[in-house]
Homo-oligomer: A and B are copies of this chain.
Amino acid sequence: MTTPIDYVHGYSAHETRRLGDQADTLAELLHSGTAYPAGSKVLEVGCGVGAQTVHLVTASPQAHFTAVDIAARSLAQARARVTAYAPDARVSWQQANLFDLPFPDAEFDHVFVCFVLEHLATPRHALTALRRVLRPGGTLTVIEGDHGSTFFHPDSAYAHAAVDCQVQLQSTAGGNALIGRQLHPLVTGAGYTDVVVRPRTVYADRSRPALVNGFTRNTFIAMIESVREDALAAGLMTPSDWDRGIRDLHRTATGDGTFHYTFFKAVAVNPGALDPGDASD
C-alpha cells in the first residue's frame, strides 16, 4: 500500500495552531543536534503546516531546503509560516507523495522526517523509498512520538483509556501512535546503517509551567480532545467516561500533577544504492 491514509489529526485552524504551539515548545528538545552544513541540500518530507520547517531553517540558515507535503493547503500554510518567521530562508516547496517523489536519484544530502511515519501503513516502505533520493553517505533523521510512553500523576484509568482511543483510531486509520519504540528496527529494516535512536523525554511538573501549558495542556491533551467525536462515534468510550478521562488528564496539568511523554529521534546513514529486494514492506 503506497497511498497515504486519512490524516487522523485533521486540518482545522485549531489543529494548525496546536501544531504550531507543539513545535515551539518542543523545538529545543526535538531539534537539538540537528544542524546541516552550509550549501547542503536537505529534504523535509511531510512538512505539514511548517511547524518543524521553521526550526530547521533557523538551525541551518545556510542549507538549501526542499519541503514536501501531499496536501496543497498545508503546504501553503507552511510557506506562509516560514516566510513570516524566516523571510531569508532558502526553501523550495513541492506538493508530492513521499512514495513517488519527483526528484532525481541521490538528489539530497540529508532527509528529515518528523511526525510522518506514525500516519503511514507502510512506514518501512516509506523509509526505503526515501533512500532513492538520498545520496550514498547522506543522513536520515526521523522523529516520532509513542503514546505508550504517556503516564502521569495522579494516575487515572479513564485518562489512559482516552489516550488509548487516539491509539485505536490512528490504528484503524492505518497508522501507529506507538511507532516511536519501533524506529530502530524500521530504519535498520529499510537498509540504513549506523542507526542511532535516542529517547527525547518530556517531563512536566509545576516547576515548569511553560511546559505544562505548552506541552501537557496545549499539545498533548488538545490532541486527545480533538478525537472526542470520532472516539464516541466508534463506541470506544461512553461520553461520561470520556469526559472523566479528559478531566483527569487536565488534572495532571494542575497543582501537584506531573506528566511524562517520550519522543524518539533516529539518525542513520544511507549506505548506497537500493538492493532489488529493498522495496518490500
Contact = CB atoms under 8 A, between A and B. Distances in A.
27 contacts: A146-B151, A146-B260, A148-B151, A148-B155, A149-B149, A151-B178, A153-B181, A153-B182, A153-B185, A155-B178, A155-B181, A181-B258, A181-B260, A184-B205, A184-B207, A184-B256, A185-B205, A185-B258, A188-B206, A189-B256, A196-B207, A197-B203, A197-B205, A198-B203, A199-B201, A203-B264, A262-B262
Interface of A: 146, 148-149, 151-153, 155, 178, 181-182, 184-185, 188-189, 195-199, 201, 203, 205-207, 256, 258, 260, 262, 264
A179 to B, nearest CB: 10
Pairs A-B, 4 closest by C-beta atoms: A185-B256, A184-B205, A148-B151, A153-B181
A199 B155 contact: no
Given A195-B207, A199-B201, A256 B188 contact: yes
Nearest to A185: B256
B155 A258 contact: no
Contacts of A151: 146, 148-149, 178, 181
* Oligomer copy total: 2
A139 to B, nearest CB: 16
B196 A181 contact: no
Contacts of A198: 203
A128 B185 CA distance: 46
A77 B197 CA distance: 38
A265 to B, nearest CB: 11
Contacts of A203: 197-199, 264
A136 to B, nearest CB: 21
A195 B256 CA distance: 12
A151 to B, nearest CB: 4
Nearest to A197: B205
A203 B197 CA distance: 9
A146 to B, nearest CB: 7
A23 to B, nearest CB: 21
A18 to B, nearest CB: 24
Contacts of A178: 151, 155
Considering residues A153, A188, A196, A199, which has the most beta carbons from chain B within 10 angstroms of its beta carbon? A153
Of the candidates A152, A178, A185, the one having the most CB atoms from chain B within 10 angstroms of its own CB is A185
Nearest to A182: B153
B199 A181 contact: no
A198 B260 CA distance: 10
A125 to B, nearest CB: 17
